[in-house]
Amino acid sequence: MTKSSRPESLHSAGRKVRLHESIAAHLLLVVAVAFALYPILWVIALAFSGAADLEPRVLPLPIEPTLEHLRGVVGSTLKAPGEPERWLFGIQLLNSIVVSLATAAVGILIAVPTAYALARFEFVGKDAGLRTLLATQMFPAVASAIPLYLILDALGLLGSRSGLVLCYATTSVPFAIFQLRGAFETIPRDLEEAAMVDGATRFAAFIKVVLPAARPAIAVTALFAFMSAYNEFVLAHTMLGREELYTLPVVLQRYISEFSADWPKFAAGSLLVSLPVMLLFYIAQRHLVAGLTAGGVKG
């Protein structure tokens, strides 16, 4: 073998190694995706199967396909004495979306100026305030159910969507503050100083320079606040007492009782409940990577 042919053989061997590594990595990804999607396939099979029971099998496919379970969930109605019949599922879906959007809006509106102040200014009580906010994240939501119930009862907001939004804001605001504080710290101060040298006020620099730079982090924070409120069950079940005020997680729980379970309708409802979140993820997908990494590196 000549000297000129040795580098070519080494280069060919290197390409084969890289090809094998690429194939192994893709196979691993395929296995991971299949592992994640397999339970979802069972939910889809349950939702669209007309058979009473699904026998265990490797590939879950609907047996006697039907849309009856979806119609049963979507077509639920409410008839109050002396009032026209109303579309109950549509009201409950609207409740979930309105409460979740309001929770995200409240969290962002309070957290954005608070996080900016914590990231840019030094003031008395800053460290103590951060530690207090961190302490609030160490307790589960159910631990605050009784105090929140008593507070809402005293304010006359018990059994209302506004009261539920206030309950959810107690957890969404601290999380949003911590998330956005890290994002604001990654934005160079030089950008604001340059804007102020050109004649902008601190507020104008914040609106025109900082907020556009932090938009991915704000979008992801709002998305997480929306999802946490949209999927929450304990507080919604505790604070809401009327069927027309229920959110969708409470509605799904009603298909599973102590002595029986309507799994096909539960699966159909789960798919319907997931659609708004999937749509929201699709809309905000371009912000996800940038927003999730915002605040991970300072400077």
CATH code, domain with 78: 1.10.3720.10
Structure confidence at residue 53 (pLDDT): 64
Let me know whether 119 and 249 are in one domain.
Answer: yes
Helix (H, G, I), strand (E, B) or coil at 256: strand
Q: Residues of 102-136 as b/e, b for ≥16 C-beta within 10 angstroms?
A: bbbbbbbebbbebbbebbbeeeeeeeeeeeebeee
- Whether 299 is covered by a domain: the verdict is no
Let me know whether 36 and 55 are in one domain.
Answer: yes
- Whether 183 is covered by a domain: the verdict is yes
Let me know whether 242 and 263 are in one domain.
Answer: yes
- Whether 46 is covered by a domain: the verdict is yes
Let me know whether 23 and 137 are in one domain.
Answer: no
Let me know whether 45 and 86 are in one domain.
Answer: no
- Whether 156 is covered by a domain: the verdict is yes
Let me know whether 246 and 120 are in one domain.
Answer: yes
Which residues pair with residue 49 across a beta bridge? 65
- Whether 298 is covered by a domain: the verdict is no
Longest dimension (CA), the chain: 98
Let me know whether 120 and 207 are in one domain.
Answer: yes
- Whether 223 is covered by a domain: the verdict is yes
- Whether 153 is covered by a domain: the verdict is yes
Structure confidence at residue 103 (pLDDT): 94
Let me know whether 46 and 166 are in one domain.
Answer: no
Let me know whether 62 and 171 are in one domain.
Answer: no
Q: Residues of 196-231 as b/e, b for ≥16 C-beta within 10 angstroms?
A: eeeebeeeebbeebbeebbebbbbbbbbbbbbbbbb
Let me know whether 199 and 223 are in one domain.
Answer: yes
Pick from 28, 48, 66: which residue ends a domain? 66
Give me the residue label for tokens 């094998």.
20
The answer to whether 247 and 92 are in contact (CB under 8 A) is yes
Structure confidence at residue 297 (pLDDT): 43
Nearest CA to 141 among 122, 117, 169? Answer: 169
Structure confidence at residue 125 (pLDDT): 81
Pick from 66, 92, 109: which residue ends a domain? 66
DSSP string, 118-174: HHH---TTHHHHHHHHHHHTTS-GGGGHHHHHHHHHHHT-TTSHHHHHHHHHHHHHH
- Whether 35 is covered by a domain: the verdict is yes
Structure confidence at residue 9 (pLDDT): 61
Q: How many CA atoms lie within 13 A of 60 on its CB side?
A: 17
Give me the residue label for tokens 């893709």.
26
Let me know whether 90 and 47 are in one domain.
Answer: no
Let me know whether 62 and 78 are in one domain.
Answer: no
Structure confidence at residue 165 (pLDDT): 92
The whole-number mean pLDDT for each consecutive block of 10 residues of the chain, a chain of 299 residues, reads: 54 68 88 88 87 70 84 81 80 92 93 90 83 79 84 89 90 88 87 85 88 87 91 88 87 83 87 88 70 46
Single-letter amino acid, residue 265: K
Structure confidence at residue 65 (pLDDT): 83
Range of the domain at 211: 72-293
Structure confidence at residue 242 (pLDDT): 83
**For the chain, what is the domain count?**
2
**Tokens standing for residue 137:** 């994240």
Pick from 20, 37, 66: which residue ends a domain? 66
